[in-house]
Chain A
Amino acid sequence: MAQPVLQYESVSKIYRSLLTRRKHTALQDFTLAVFPGKIVGFLGPNGAGKTTAIHIALGLNRPSSGRGSLLGKPFGDVGSRRRVGFLAENVAFYHLSAKELLHLYGALNAVREPALSHVVRQLLNKFDIADVGDRSIAKFSRGMLQRVGLAQALVNDPDLLILDEPTSALDPASRLTVRSVLLRTREAGKSVFLSSHLLSELEMVCDRIIVLNRGRVVLEGRTRELLESHEQCEVVLRQARNFAVPPSAKDVTSNNGELRFNVPRQTQREVIEAAWSAGAELVSVNSVRRTLEELFLETTDENVRHQGPKA
């Protein structure tokens, strides 16, 4: 089995206020492994600990307990960061031109000329910022800054790409570019660790999903498996005029002579037998596919917040 490119082993992070000594647990017993050639989606509500986890991996913060490795080296190792591309959530750079910035960040990751100039030109074109490459980024919009941020994350052709909200300020065309970059990165056998609130984006590209809530992993698994509900199934019937839809059925629709509804998995057999007895033709029975948004709301407190407190 391949070595993980990013691994957390029971990592906890507790912030303490210097004066009041009040504690805030940002991460609790966080364990995770990201393997080569995978795109891993990392989601959770605001304050769940996602950025803290990323910053610990990059050596920007130190874990209170536990340990981990980045590209086979302990967190904080300078050499391993040379093979990592990182885009922070609130991107901030020196007020240089986009071209100078890419040269600077490439050189900091030991990319040397003439390869560096070639890569910088390519990235400026890829992210559609070649025309403004000589202008100071102080005059850039947030979307343009984010494109510069993505370009600097790729300037060293990283083995592991860590992106914290990479598409939040991007227009649809730029999002497509990012998606194709992510997919090509995976095709090249490299890995992407992607934190985002754009759940539809994650659903499209991620092989695995990790949901973090209050510093703990509350859900982890393959995207396809997670989105397939094990609790509900969709039943499609034809010629079901004499069939009485059971009270447990949800999302009942009738269209083109087909009757569709969702029922709990444990009543599936009973419902099918009732349909046959009523002379209905069974077209299909499939697991209900949920959206990542539904899954997210189910596994985090966001559901409660969204619906308001129960009476």
Chain B
Amino acid sequence: MTSVLLLAIAFVRHNLWILIMLLLWPWLFSGALSFEGETQISDYAANLQQESFYGILIIGFMATAALNNEQKSRRIIAVLSKAVSRGEYLASFLLGVFLVALGFTLSVAIATWIATLRIHPSLVHLPVFLLAVLISALWIASLSLMFSTFLPPLLTTICTGLGVALTLLGLHSLNPAWALLAPTSSIFLALAADPLSSSWRLGWLPLTTAMIEILVFLAIGAWSFQYRDLTRALE
């Protein structure tokens, strides 16, 4: 577990500029909104949705090229020649993505809270909304990590995109069975609704199922990663 945490921190430090951008971005947008004259609650809600949407995509797709970058730069050799298993190595990327996503959602939460102090909207659903953002980002990251263990980066991105698209397609034919199989479709549906409205709802079942799926994707990725040669170039 120590190895996973150490490598996750190294991953975050290596992607420091993305983290800084994600931490500052909500403040810039919330600040810009606050300086506009007559800002409505709906403007903040739309801003929050937009931030969350792009945040999910940026964070989720951070993992797409992570493994390939490490392999291309040969840093993977220095790490996996130590007492680190491939499963731990893969988990460290996911933990790194989690840390970035946590920083982003906290930044969004504080920026939104401060920006909306004047107009007192209902922020009661904001924690669950941001938890859904975090889990969605992790779900995409774990899906792309799984694909990246056996596919090249371009195909990884395409397959991850297809995975997200399929769940979005599920929004149109939402029935209980689909919601259970593709929990992110319910989550995406909730994220598309106004998070500052008192009627906003998201049950715990899709969140829990999504978390289980994240672990399943990680386990499949770790299993497939076992069989991969890490250095293929001729000396």
Contact = CB atoms under 8 A, between A and B. Distances in A.
Interface in A31-67: 46-52, 55, 58-62
A62 B229 contact: yes
Contact of B81 (A15, A47, A60): A60
B74 A90 contact: yes
Residue among A47, A49, A94 with max Cβ neighbours from chain B (10 Å): A94
Contact of A88 (B2, B7, B13, B77): B77
A48 B80 CA distance: 23
B117 interface: no
B229 A61 contact: yes
B235 A52 contact: yes
A82 B83 contact: yes
A90 B3 CA distance: 23
B10 interface: yes
A3 to B, nearest CB: 20
Contacts, number: 84
Interface string A71-90: 00000001101101010111
Contacts of B81: 58, 60, 81, 84, 86, 88
A237 to B, nearest CB: 48
A104 B83 CA distance: 12
A107 B83 contact: no
Contacts of A240: none
B83 to A, nearest CB: 4
Given A48-B235, A60-B231, A81 B75 contact: no
B120 interface: no
B210 to A, nearest CB: 30
A62 B232 CA distance: 11
A60 B235 contact: no
B34 interface: no
A88 B73 CA distance: 12
B13 A96 contact: yes
B235 A79 contact: no
Contact of B234 (A24, A60, A91, A95): A24
B18 interface: no
Residue among B10, B73, B235 with max Cβ neighbours from chain A (10 Å): B235
B231 A109 contact: no
Contacts of A48: 235
A259 B48 CA distance: 94
Given A55-B230, A78-B83, A104-B10, A92 B235 contact: no
A2 B10 CA distance: 40
A104 B6 contact: yes
A213 interface: no
B21 interface: no
B79 A108 contact: yes
Contacts of A86: 81
Contact of A92 (B3, B13, B74, B232): B74
Interface of A: 15, 24, 26, 46-52, 55, 58-62, 78-79, 81-82, 84, 86, 88-96, 104-105, 107-110, 152
10 tightest Cβ-Cβ pairs between the two chains A and B: A82-B83, A92-B74, A108-B82, A86-B81, A51-B235, A61-B229, A60-B230, A58-B81, A88-B77, A78-B85
Given A60-B231, A79-B83, A92-B74, 4 more contacts: A52-B231, A60-B230, A61-B230, A92-B75
